[in-house]
Structure 1
Amino acid sequence: MNQNAIENTRNVAIVGPYSSGKTTLLESLLFASGAISRKGKVTEGNTISDGSPEAKERHMSVEVSTASTTYQDINFTFLDCPGSIEFAQETYNALTGAGAAIIVCEPVIERVLTLAPLLKFLDDWEIPHLLFINKMDRANAHFMDVLHAIKEVSSRPLVPLQYPISRDGQLVGYIDLITEQAYHYHKGSPVDPVPLPDHLKDEEHAARQEMLETIAEFDDHLLEELLEDIEPPQDEILQDLKQELSADQIVPVFFGIADLDYGVRPLLDALIKEAPAPSVTAQRRGLTPQTDNNTIVQILKTYFTAQGGRLSLVRVWQGTLTDGMLLNGVRAGGIYRLLGQQQHPIPQAMVGEIVAVGRLEGLTTGTTASNTNNIPELPKAHLLKPVYALAIAPENRKDEVKLSGAMSKLIEEDPSLYWEQHGDTKEVILWGQGEIHLQVALDRLRRKYNLPMTTHLPHVPYKETIRLISKSHGRYKHQTGGHGAFGDVHLEIKPLPRGTGFQFHETIVGGVVPRQYIPGVEVGVREYLSHGPLGFPVVDVDVTLTDGSYHSVDSSEQAFKMAARIAMSEGMPKCKPILLEPVVSVTVTAPSEYTSKVLQLVSGRRGQILGYEGLTHWKGWDQVTAHLPQAEMQNLIVELRSLTMGVGFFNWEYDHLQEVPDKLTDNILATNGNGHRK
């Protein structure tokens, strides 16, 4: 492949909110470019991109899907990204390798806010993006009103390159604002040029003038032409658009109805003329033009397929990737171009291409890999913090040995998942981005690894402590046919300040308890504290061994351990035990218009508001900080998304333990702390 062929490569991510029509747009793009002869439908489960059983069942994208095609001698690779916020990690990982992105949205003003997090990510990464307003047959407002609403959530100026032509309220064509040529749509076919409608000439002229003035903000020569009433050449306008889009300074806007193929071919033409070439994207990532034979790739996604095993989706940033090449010491086992679930083997991939590579064991998503040493580590998307959890267990206990290996593969496919075996509750807890996210993960465990699971909400890791000091005595005496067992201890139990933990002391004098038996006393105390009088682990307690006695023949470390447990069982109930609950520090981020609702949500869950302030790096968004009992966290993300049109999110971390209010303690103790009555 020569240099021209390399520069004729375009990697484009298709992104946007859930149900905006991204997968339908991809079907139309593939149909228009000749990659497929018949379009599939999401509702029928036969689209190119939503090929997994989990996607088909839910009629939604749940992972990145790749499709390569050629149109007018340009090699396109499209990355169809999930729209649900619960699968945002997939989208962010894929975007790090994309040269440009198409944001797909609906012409519904009330839903415009759902674009905000995606626009923020694209702007932070300086990824060039175009806007495609889909489903124009369902618009609930005028095109210009929708455009104005989107401008409010975009930090980059929007530049519409088309103006709609409607008849009886239905979209029938568009006016190209660069050429001022009008066109009529035809389902499944290219557009026809038509005369510019007289009744739209004034509106078209105003829209074109606004377009030129916007792009002239970044080009002094064009600004001079406009000030002198000189009509700029079309080539100059296109060159400006290409430069300003490549620099992520503007957002070109297109529209259509993907289901009818309206607006798809103009969008493809714009990608050919205006989207940046691979060399521009590489420079944006800090890579200089290639001067040697080094190959550098980055892994954007990891799959585990039923037929081929491990498959890594990689972007070739530098050099040529060949089959069998060693990448970070791991041999590439096959290179493939993808069309959804279809794999087409190729001998090599050139710089700028996105391809699948087999058997890159140990190289995880985000990894930069090369055939040489001392390469720069390319930036990768930040890992989203988990916000929703389920406790899981195999339906068949014999399958427990398989769980660890299956979970490792599951998390390699989806790094936004996390699992742990909780030290206090002993539960296996699966963490993710929401209920649907975890259900998809559980479906994969069942389908791919034959591991059906039972689930329940995780238990809250309550603790207990004491308020009073007590002294206790424990004697363990057991006689058998041979040696007996004897241990005798006196303990003093007292509370410690919150967060101190457990302390053990001894003040033995005169050898009443021999030194070799004192460790047994501490072990017995610690064992008891794992399950205190209220049924939970005990914290912030000081225990001192003050006295005791022993038998020269029958005493042993084990006997003193048993005596210590007896003493603790006697003394701890006298210390007025109280229940403690974990409290987390929460930072909630949401649009300012929802801040009052966020404050009510947190307060209604026994939260303590610490403060809120506007974000300097995100206009129109606030951040609320609070302390919140962990028991109130389980469905917080569900309610928060419901209140904020799905865009609100939070980060959290454990902060401290606090006493449970008396009115809640009785109910917690009656249900063993897990919601199930004793």
Structure 2
Amino acid sequence: MGEKTTAAPRCAALVGPYLSGKTTLLESLLFVTGAVSRKGTIKEGNTVGDSAPEARARKMSVEIASATTEFLGESWCFLDCPGSVELAREAQQALMVADAAIVVCEPEPAKALTLAPLLKFLDDRKIPHLLFVNKMDIAPYRVAELMAALQAVSARPLVLRQVPIRTADKNGVDQITGYVDLVSERAYQYKPGQPSDLMKMPETVLEREQTARRSLLESLADFDDALLEQLLEDAVPSKDSIYQQLTKDLAADLIVPVFLGAAERDHGVRRLLKTLRHEVPDVRETAKRLGIASDAGDTVAQVFKTYHQAHTGKLSLARVWSGKLQDGMTLSGHRVGSVSRMKGHELAKLAGAAAGEVVALGRMEEVAGGALLSASGKARTTTPWPAKPAPLFSLAIDTENRADEVKLTAALHKLVEEDEALSVDQNPDTHELVLWGQGEIHLQIAIDRLRLKYNLPVKSHRPQVNYKETIRKGTKQHSRFKRQSGGHGQFADIHVGISPLPRGKGFEFHDEIVGGAVPRQYIPSVEEGVREYLVRGPLGFPVVDLAVTLTDGQFHTVDSSDMAFKTAARMAMTEALPNCEPVLLEPIYAVTVTVPTEFTSRVHGLISGRRGQILGFDAKEGWSGWDEVSAHMPQSELHDLIIELRSLTLGVGTFAWKFDHLQELIGRIADKVVEQRVQPAH
């Protein structure tokens, strides 16, 4: 293999769908390179990648886990990312600073589609990536079938680097016992827990090897004229020239090499490490790809993940792009409180870090994810940090103990800093504190964190819908408020006209007082009294789209006051509105559902079943084989839409939403909403 030596530490992100085996692969990489003496398992809850309590409780990764190791004298940082589609933001953050991505997948053609959004993210940003097909020891499918399914979801050509050697066991069942490397054309036999043995290539694999190697060379020839010429002349290109072309094409995100293995048995892991060593670009090339620029000799680092830990406080996980980062130095106006290397949640203090390293910076309180920091303060990048994902699922939360309310605000601030896909919103209509995220599991993990990390048990429930009400007809109302009690009394007398307004007009107040029937200073109090009433109308909801006009009234020079006129206004509205045919208004949202074309018809059924109105559908721009379905849907039907949508689309479907208009709601559904409203609130 063409020798490539790189002094600077490199970084690879382990990404891929839930249950593909990324955390198991990390354990294998650390074990094979000697960073751990014994591999942990998900079942035992002792892996480096799942060191958080909420990860161990769920037996799944919930945040980026960083681990550094050495292979053949070179330093590597592996970032193990959660696979759950609800935690995709974590993977995106890690990918923005990685030299390459190892996309881990299962050997099942039917699951290939689950890779589509991730591969699109990688290609849009030209991030070099290779595929590691895990669990090949139990694969029931042929590699050709799997490659066809994977190629269907990859915009870049997939280049198979190995063919498996299959041997029948004593029961006549095919087992994968080794592989042939398609560049070196050497055959290897797997040995449990040890490097593979070189072996003679079995005759049975020769034809498959020749076909696959030809395909590999043809893929490379598409990007290299000299190689194409050699192939056309039936000349055999040198192995060094093939490796050089593979390295060049991977760095430019022109091809996606595909490797086979079984991380649980360490199969294919050493071969993967050798490829990373020789073919993955280094930190200088990655910084160039991202358009990171600064003065010569400047220290530049980029924060990509925040942790809040009980004993150490805030930690900012960062990649050093250039220069030498040292404890105590100032970066973009922020003093570095400490420099540490992370292994899961374990910290090892360092005096400093060189270009290429991934380190945790202590006490950088004002620094957020994506921040590019430098000693000069002049570093810049042409690559924007990915936009935070739009929220898709929400729960209203409240502390179990009222005394914890102030603590909750501080804890939520930390939670949102740690997880960029979370947000918190105080609903002005329902007065609920609403936690937003990417799905039910995502929010349950956040609630677990509040309990386990901040000792803050919270209650959660489905948030209320922002129903409103309005009137269908107008009326006139006369109200008098008179109260006599020793000294000054209270007196106000008003005549108002109430009329409906067109949808979306809100509330209007007019006065037509002539001749001082109501003195000027009391008119704002009448409006204030009306507005106070409109917070909760006869059906129990905020009232909108109506006009109130003050037409006449009386006052008393001694007993009239602002409070008296405000009270009279409330009385007038309380008496009048039930006679104006109040009607419930339901919020309708404009929704755009994004799915692979094969699921479009299912989405039509899903929308219709949730009282939605389909407006049309079209091909999604920039996404081959995907559709966007536009619809109007009631807010009350959106709460768990993402859960059903994902279950219909192998987890890849998603949607965007925004408020569009209010629409009258009548009949049984409306009656039920009003009935629930008059019951005591939570």
Q: Judge same fold: TM > 0.5, yes or no.
A: yes
What is the letter of the counterpart of residue 52 of structure 1? A
In structure 2, the partner of 1:646 is 651
Using the alignment, how far apart are the partners of 2:377 and 2:207 within structure 1? Answer: 61
**Residues 116-138 of structure 1, C-alpha deviations (whole Å, 9 max, x = no match):** 01001000111000100000122
Q: CA deviation at 1:651?
A: 1.1
Using the alignment, how far apart are the partners of 1:146 and 1:404 within structure 2? Answer: 49
Q: CA deviation at 1:247?
A: 0.3
Q: CA deviation at 1:391?
A: 0.5
In structure 2, the partner of 1:187 is 192
Q: Structure 2 vs 1, CA of residues 261 and 645 (structure 1 numbering), >3 Å: closer, same or farther?
A: same
Contact 1:462 1:673 in 2 (8 A): no
In structure 1, the partner of 2:326 is 322
**Residues 136-183 of structure 1, C-alpha deviations (whole Å, 9 max, x = no match):** 122231111101110000000001110000112111000011111100
Using the alignment, how far apart are the partners of 2:149 and 2:419 within structure 1? Answer: 34
Tell me which of 622, 626, 647 is aligned to 2:627: 622
In structure 2, the partner of 1:658 is 663
Using the alignment, how far apart are the partners of 2:88 and 2:148 within structure 1? Answer: 26
Tell me which of 641, 664, 672 is aligned to 1:667: 672
Tell me which of 602, 608, 614 is aligned to 2:613: 608
Contact 1:67 1:78 in 2 (8 A): yes
What is the letter of the counterpart of residue 10 of structure 1? R
Using the alignment, how far apart are the partners of 1:662 and 1:320 within structure 2? Answer: 69
Tell me which of 327, 335, 342 is aligned to 2:346: 342
Is 1:199 the counterpart of 2:204? The answer is yes
Q: CA deviation at 1:465?
A: 0.5
Using the alignment, how far apart are the partners of 2:236 and 2:50 within structure 1? Answer: 46
In structure 2, the partner of 1:370 is 374
3-state SS of paired residue (2:43): helix
In structure 1, the partner of 2:466 is 461
What is the letter of the counterpart of residue 372 of structure 1? S
What is the letter of the counterpart of residue 282 of structure 2? A
Correspondence list, 1:197-596, <5 A: 197-288=202-293, 292-377=296-381, 378-596=383-601
Contact 2:9 2:355 in 1 (8 A): no
Is 1:164 the counterpart of 2:164? The answer is yes
In structure 2, the partner of 1:34 is 34
In structure 2, the partner of 1:99 is 99
What is the letter of the counterpart of residue 162 of structure 2? Q
Contact 1:670 1:677 in 2 (8 A): no
| Stretch moving more, 665-674 or 249-258 | 665-674
**Residues 52-94 of structure 1, C-alpha deviations (whole Å, 9 max, x = no match):** 0000000100000000000011110000000000101111111
In structure 2, the partner of 1:18 is 18
Using the alignment, how far apart are the partners of 1:451 and 1:384 within structure 2? Answer: 26
3-state SS of paired residue (2:677): coil
Contact 2:8 2:356 in 1 (8 A): no
Using the alignment, how far apart are the partners of 1:537 and 1:352 within structure 2? Answer: 57
What is the letter of the counterpart of residue 346 of structure 1? L
**Residues 441-470 of structure 1, C-alpha deviations (whole Å, 9 max, x = no match):** 011111222211011100111000011010
3-state SS of paired residue (1:672): helix
What is the letter of the counterpart of residue 34 of structure 1? G
Q: CA deviation at 1:293?
A: 2.6
3-state SS of paired residue (2:231): helix
Q: CA deviation at 1:661?
A: 3.3
Contact 2:331 2:377 in 1 (8 A): no
Q: CA deviation at 1:7?
A: 4.2
Contact 2:86 2:442 in 1 (8 A): yes
Q: CA deviation at 1:634?
A: 0.7
Using the alignment, how far apart are the partners of 1:356 and 1:92 within structure 2? Answer: 18
**Residues 564-614 of structure 1, C-alpha deviations (whole Å, 9 max, x = no match):** 111111111111110001111111111000000011111111111111111
Using the alignment, how far apart are the partners of 1:401 and 1:360 within structure 2? Answer: 23
Q: CA deviation at 1:673?
A: 8.0
Tell me which of 180, 183, 187 is aligned to 1:175: 180
Q: CA deviation at 1:328?
A: 2.2
| Stretch moving more, 657-666 or 257-266 | 657-666
Contact 1:6 1:351 in 2 (8 A): no
Using the alignment, how far apart are the partners of 1:10 and 1:375 within structure 2? Answer: 21
Contact 2:35 2:69 in 1 (8 A): yes
3-state SS of paired residue (2:209): helix
| Stretch moving more, 80-89 or 137-146 | 137-146
**Residues 331-384 of structure 1, C-alpha deviations (whole Å, 9 max, x = no match):** 101111122122122211112221111111110111112222333145212200
Using the alignment, how far apart are the partners of 2:678 and 2:131 within structure 1? Answer: 50
In structure 2, the partner of 1:65 is 65
3-state SS of paired residue (1:38): coil
Using the alignment, how far apart are the partners of 1:442 and 1:677 within structure 2? Answer: 22
Using the alignment, how far apart are the partners of 2:652 and 2:39 within structure 1? Answer: 32
Q: CA deviation at 1:518?
A: 0.7
**Residues 619-669 of structure 1, C-alpha deviations (whole Å, 9 max, x = no match):** 000011111100000110000000000000111111111111323111111
In structure 2, the partner of 1:118 is 118
Count of aligned positions: 673
In structure 1, the partner of 2:128 is 128
Q: CA deviation at 1:291?
A: 5.2
**TM-score (norm. length: structure 2):** 0.97
Q: CA deviation at 1:316?
A: 1.2
**TM-score (norm. length: structure 1):** 0.98
Is 1:636 the counterpart of 2:641? The answer is yes
Q: CA deviation at 1:110?
A: 1.1
Using the alignment, how far apart are the partners of 1:41 and 1:396 within structure 2? Answer: 37
Using the alignment, how far apart are the partners of 1:586 and 1:317 within structure 2? Answer: 41
Using the alignment, how far apart are the partners of 1:368 and 1:461 within structure 2? Answer: 40
In structure 1, the partner of 2:171 is none
In structure 1, the partner of 2:9 is 9
**Residues 391-440 of structure 1, C-alpha deviations (whole Å, 9 max, x = no match):** 10000011111121111111000011011111010111100011111011
Contact 2:619 2:625 in 1 (8 A): yes
Q: CA deviation at 1:5?
A: 8.2
Contact 1:6 1:352 in 2 (8 A): no
| Stretch moving more, 397-406 or 560-569 | 397-406
Contact 1:473 1:570 in 2 (8 A): no
In structure 2, the partner of 1:155 is 155
Provide the identity percentage: 54
Using the alignment, how far apart are the partners of 1:8 and 1:151 within structure 2? Answer: 33
In structure 2, the partner of 1:52 is 52
Using the alignment, how far apart are the partners of 1:216 and 1:673 within structure 2? Answer: 73
| Stretch moving more, 310-319 or 390-399 | 310-319
Using the alignment, how far apart are the partners of 2:237 and 2:119 within structure 1? Answer: 31
Contact 2:8 2:355 in 1 (8 A): no
Contact 2:599 2:649 in 1 (8 A): yes
Is 1:80 the counterpart of 2:80? The answer is yes
Contact 2:162 2:179 in 1 (8 A): yes
- List gaps (5 residues or longer) in structure 1: none
What is the letter of the counterpart of residue 302 of structure 1? T
**Residues 484-518 of structure 1, C-alpha deviations (whole Å, 9 max, x = no match):** 00011010000111111110000001111011111
What is the letter of the counterpart of residue 677 of structure 2? N
